[in-house]
Chain A
Amino acid sequence: MIRLVNLWKRFGRKEVLRGVSLTIEDGETLAILGKSGTGKTVTLKHILGLLYPDRGEVYVDGLRVDRAGRKELYALRRRFGYVFQGAALFDSMTVYENVALPLVEQKRYRDEEIRARVRQALEMVDLAGTEALYPSELSGGMRKRVGIARAIVHAPEFLLYDEPTAGLDPVTADRINDLMLNLKENLDVTGVMVTHDLRSALRVADRLVLLDEGEVVVDTPVDRILEVTHPAFRQFLEASGIMHGR
């Protein structure tokens, strides 16, 4: 279980998070929606101690992340996969080396096993055969998918997706949606996805949260979204073509 309690975070003068509280149950996938610049990525980064709150608490399975020692923190991070908004591939490494790195560094795997897992992860994102290429030789959407392969290669218990389908064509986006759904349902992964893509959120997530100006203004199960009255949320539904006018 992931639990964020009343998180406050400012950068310089800008108060980016203003009391964000969220709970993600085991096996559940939560989608975080919201306008650009409302603190979605910042929220996600708090879960793994990539950013620390000015105020508030972060818990994962009872561990207080924002107070954790380095050993506990690194052990915790290895149970996570994180899909970065901009893929964040290492440009000095090939696709293969990028995807293999989480396994290589954990030192628990034999070479053949690493090769097999990397191949499998790349197949899952339709990128078999790109092992020897460098990130600079890939398109934006391909980079994104290598980022997804790298996040799932070590079969993590938790997956954090920062806009996993942004910049993908609709067909590929659907493949990624299927993949996320599959991970959730068959491997029991607990997930948080940040997205602008409501279709993807409705397909994969169990619960939606709308973040606005650093606050959670809507928190609803997916099957009850039509009951939500918050104007910003209804705007979001309308803009996504889910709902037409009133």
Chain B
Amino acid sequence: MRFWIERLGQLVVLLREVVLSLREIHLTPRLTVVEIEKIGVRSLPVVLLTSLFIGMVSAVQTAYQIRDYVPLDYLGVGIAKAVMIELGPVITGLVVAGRSGAGIAAELGSMRVTEQIDALAVMGINPVRYLVLPRLLAGLISLPMLTILAEFTAIVASAFVAEAILRLPLTLFVQGIRLFFNPLDLMGGLLKSLVFGGVIALMGSFHGYYTEGGAAGVGRATTEAVVSSSVLILAMDYLLGTLIYG
């Protein structure tokens, strides 16, 4: 119990430092670009690959689920909405949590145990401004962009499977999406992904920044970053889902 209260205290301290370091935000663009490359650009292949398969399987399984009570003409709109509201943001979030959340925690964790974070502080450089803020900004910027690309990929992939395997003409698939498109679906999903980006970067940074106990500690920090950001993503998904669509 005491342990958890201490952890929470550390998180609050870190958040406060992040807010205070916003005053020096003009110093971060260069570092942020580097992090966007690591968190965003290098996650692109795995995110696109996952969404490709998500789109393909959605087409097959949704068709099976609705075949007795909904005409197949509505397949496109059903998949598009599921992808924009739920699948796109959540799958992208979980994939990036596993990849970049772990990466952030490992990087900051090893900087902590080799005293590199102390070395920054000694030079008069605020380590939170230098290390955490750029990663947080990069997470907030990267996730919505990755999510849009993931959603596009998933929907295109499902349309192809629908045409090739289920014999649903592409025009019908697209028509359904057009007819029922609601901007709230897209925007709500992107808002979720923004929050997930923040969660991933924050959990990675938090566990890395407060790493203790050498190489073993770095390993622990990495695991904890992935587990906590995955759980938080799903919890926030429910919360935001209720707020936006409930």
Could you list which residues of chain A lie within 8 angstroms of chain B, going by C-beta atoms?
45, 48, 50, 70, 74-75, 77-78, 80-82, 84-86, 88-91, 101-102, 105-106, 150
Task: For A48, give its contact among B115, B116, B122 (CB under 8 Å).
Answer: B122
Give, as a whole number of angstroms, the nearest-CB distance from B125 to chain A. 5
Complex formed: what's the CA distance from A118 to B134 in Å?
27
Tell me whether A82 and B124 are in contact (CB under 8 A). Answer: no
Tell me whether A102 and B118 are in contact (CB under 8 A). Answer: no
Tell me whether B115 and A105 are in contact (CB under 8 A). Answer: no
Give, as a whole number of angstroms, the nearest-CB distance from A19 to chain B. 24
Please classify the interface of chain A as helix (H, G, I), strand (E, B), loop, or mixed, using the class held by over half of its residues: mixed
Tell me whether A105 and B125 are in contact (CB under 8 A). Answer: yes
Complex formed: what's the CA distance from A200 to B119 in Å?
24
As a 0/1 sequence over residues 13 to 39 of chain B, the CB contacts with chain A under 8 angstroms (1 = contact) are 000000010000000000000000000
- Residue on A nearest B21 in the bound complex, by CB: A70
Task: For A78, give its contact among B116, B119, B123 (CB under 8 Å).
Answer: B123
Give, as a whole number of angstroms, the nearest-CB distance from A16 to chain B. 14
Q: Contacts of A88 on B, CB cut-off 8 Å? A: 114-116, 118-119
Could you list which residues of chain B lie within 8 angstroms of chain A, going by C-beta atoms?
20, 111, 114-116, 118-119, 121-126
**Known A50-B121, A82-B119, A101-B123; further 18 A-B contacts with Cβ < 8 A:** A48-B121, A48-B122, A50-B122, A70-B20, A77-B121, A77-B123, A77-B124, A82-B118, A84-B115, A84-B118, A84-B119, A88-B116, A88-B118, A89-B116, A90-B111, A90-B116, A90-B119, A91-B116
Q: Contacts of A106 on B, CB cut-off 8 Å? A: 124
Complex formed: what's the CA distance from A77 to B125 in Å?
9
Residue with the greatest number of chain A CB neighbours at <10 A, chosen from B115, B122, B126 = B122
Q: Contacts of A91 on B, CB cut-off 8 Å? A: 116
Tell me whether B122 and A80 are in contact (CB under 8 A). Answer: yes
Q: Contacts of A82 on B, CB cut-off 8 Å? A: 118-119, 122
Tell me whether B124 and A74 are in contact (CB under 8 A). Answer: yes
Complex formed: what's the CA distance from A84 to B124 in Å?
15
Give me the 5 closest cross-chain CB pairs, A-B, nearest first. Answer: A88-B115, A88-B119, A78-B124, A82-B122, A74-B124
Tell me whether B115 and A85 are in contact (CB under 8 A). Answer: yes
Complex formed: what's the CA distance from A89 to B117 in Å?
10
Q: Contacts of A77 on B, CB cut-off 8 Å? A: 121-124
Give, as a whole number of angstroms, the nearest-CB distance from A105 to chain B. 5
- 24 CB-based A-B contacts, threshold 8 Å: A45-B118, A48-B122, A50-B122, A70-B20, A75-B124, A77-B122, A78-B123, A80-B122, A81-B122, A82-B118, A82-B122, A84-B118, A84-B119, A86-B115, A88-B115, A88-B119, A89-B116, A90-B116, A91-B116, A101-B125, A105-B123, A105-B124, A106-B124, A150-B119
Give, as a whole number of angstroms, the nearest-CB distance from A155 to chain B. 14
Give, as a whole number of angstroms, the nearest-CB distance from B34 to chain A. 9
Q: Contacts of A45 on B, CB cut-off 8 Å? A: 118
Q: Contacts of B125 on A, CB cut-off 8 Å? A: 101, 105
- Residue on A nearest B118 in the bound complex, by CB: A50
Give, as a whole number of angstroms, the nearest-CB distance from A194 to chain B. 13
Q: Contacts of B122 on A, CB cut-off 8 Å? A: 48, 50, 77, 80-82
Q: Contacts of A102 on B, CB cut-off 8 Å? A: 123-124
Give, as a whole number of angstroms, the nearest-CB distance from B66 to chain A. 51
Q: Contacts of A74 on B, CB cut-off 8 Å? A: 124, 126
